[in-house]
């Protein structure tokens, strides 16, 4: 029987703490969402100063990464390269800032961030994932 | 049509004692206090739940799903919180009203209303600053946890 790793709440708190610390270090106010590999919410927090819209955007970016197994930035690149049909992919938000969480070769979920420039959003998401992977 | 329904609802459902206005939206720091109290109550009862906290616009501020909670609970917690924020009343209030039967079945047609215990407005100084939604246990268990969260800001 195949077994697979699964995110615990403790893992999520670790990811979130590192991501929020990265945001605060840069004085960025963002929303940070963590989802499981089915794209279902596990943890979410929106810092004061981030807009209500950032909540939904962060969740959709994270969901994109979690259940497509690739970053939302990759989807954005595909659209930018001219494959505009990718805009119609169900459940995909092709905007940088959502990263898959890959553990031992398996995608266990995703992190989505919204609130600043999308490259900065991705930087925050990656900081969270790095904290998890380095233990 | 949607607006018309809401207007009827606002007129006919003002039955419970409740805060009549919104205040400043809940801060992340306040939400963390609510979450800590709710989570402590859940752990006391050995329950694995999803807990969501939304602001005065029903938009998510803080959410967490405990290990072992079924995944639908994540969405349902958000729905319960949205309902409590949007209508400034608890899911229990809708639930009790619905249980009287007859014409009260109309509550099922109210946009976004969640007539299940476990969604409560968060009230500070008589004003609604947001709401909490809890899902994963029985309605009664979810309700106890939601109220423990709300009490943290009293």
| Residues of chain B found within 8 Å of residue A44, distances taken between Cβ atoms | 52, 60, 62-64
- Cβ–Cβ gap A43/B64 under 8 Å: yes
Number of domains in chain B: 1
**Could you give the CA distance from residue B47 to residue A44 in angstroms, rounded to a whole number?**
20
Structure tokens at B94: 């809708």
**Could you give the CA distance from residue A62 to residue A72 in angstroms, rounded to a whole number?**
8
- The per-residue DSSP string of B73-106 comes to HHHHHHHHHHHHHHHTS-HHHHHHHHHT-GGGGG
Domain presence at residue B113: yes
- The Cβ of residue B12 has, within 10 Å, a number of other Cβ atoms equal to 13
- Which backbone phi and psi does B15 adopt, to 5 degrees? -100, -30
The shortest CB-CB distance from B28 to any of A43, A45, A52 is to: A45
* Interface check B60 vs A, CB under 8 A: yes
Domain presence at residue B15: no
Q: Number of helices and strands (H, E) in chain A? A: 4, 4
Partnered with residue B58 across adjacent β-strands are none
Q: Give mean pLDDT, residues B71-82.
A: 98
Domain presence at residue B8: no
Nearest C-alpha neighbor of A120 from the set A17, A3, A27: A27
Whether pLDDT at B87 is above 50: yes
DSSP H helices, chain B, are 2-12, 28-44, 72-87, 91-99, 139-151
* Interface check B75 vs A, CB under 8 A: yes
Q: How many residue contacts between A and B have a Cβ separation below 8 Å?
A: 52
Whether pLDDT at B54 is above 70: yes
| Residues of chain B found within 8 Å of residue A36, distances taken between Cβ atoms | 71
Whether pLDDT at A1 is above 70: yes
Whether pLDDT at B140 is above 90: yes
In angstroms, what is the C-alpha Rg of chain A? Answer: 14
Please give the residue range of the domain that contains residue B128: 20-151
Domain presence at residue B43: yes
Domain presence at residue B9: no
* Interface check B130 vs A, CB under 8 A: no
The shortest CB-CB distance from B28 to any of A8, A40, A48 is to: A48
**What pLDDT is attached to residue B94?**
98
- Residue B65, SS3 per DSSP: strand
Q: Binning pLDDT at 50, 70 and 90, where does residue B10 land?
A: very low
Lowest mean pLDDT among A50-59, A90-99, B17-26, B137-146: B17-26
Domain presence at residue B7: no
Domain presence at residue B14: no
- The Cβ of residue A48 has, within 10 Å, a number of other Cβ atoms equal to 13
Domain presence at residue B135: yes
**Smallest CA–CA distance from A58 into chain B, residue:** B60
CATH number of the domain bearing residue B125: 3.30.450.150
pTM for this entry:
0.92
Q: Give mean pLDDT, residues A106-115.
A: 98
């Amino acid at each position: 029987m195949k077994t697979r790793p699964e995110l615990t709440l403790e893992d999520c708190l670790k990811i979130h703490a590192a991501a929020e610390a990265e945001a605060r270090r840069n004085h960025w106010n963002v929303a940070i969402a963590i989802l499981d590999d089915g794209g279902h919410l596990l943890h979410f927090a929106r810092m004061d100063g981030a807009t209500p819209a950032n909540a939904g955007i962060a969740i959709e970016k994270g969901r994109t990464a979690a259940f497509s197994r690739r970053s939302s930035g990759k989807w954005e690149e595909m659209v930018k390269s001219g494959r505009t049909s990718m805009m119609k992919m169900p459940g995909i938000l092709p905007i940088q800032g959502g990263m898959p969480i890959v553990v031992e070769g398996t995608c266990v979920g995703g992190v989505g961030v919204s609130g600043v420039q999308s490259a900065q959003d991705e930087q925050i998401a990656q900081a969270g994932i790095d904290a998890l992977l380095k233990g | 049509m949607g607006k018309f329904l809401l207007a009827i609802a606002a007129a006919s459902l003002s039955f419970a004692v409740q805060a009549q206005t919104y205040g400043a939206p809940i801060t992340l720091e306040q939400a963390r206090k609510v979450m800590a109290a709710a989570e402590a109550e859940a752990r006391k009862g050995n329950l694995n739940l999803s807990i969501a906290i939304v602001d005065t616009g029903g938009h998510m501020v803080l959410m967490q799903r405990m290990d072992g909670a079924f995944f639908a609970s994540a969405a349902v917690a958000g729905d319960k919180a949205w309902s409590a924020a949007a209508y400034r009343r608890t899911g229990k209030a809708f639930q009790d009203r619905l249980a009287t039967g007859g014409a009260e079945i109309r509550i099922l047609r109210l946009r976004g209303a969640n007539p299940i215990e476990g969604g409560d407005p968060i009230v500070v100084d008589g004003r609604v600053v947001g709401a909490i939604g809890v899902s994963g246990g029985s309605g009664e268990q979810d309700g106890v946890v939601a109220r423990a969260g709300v009490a943290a800001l009293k």
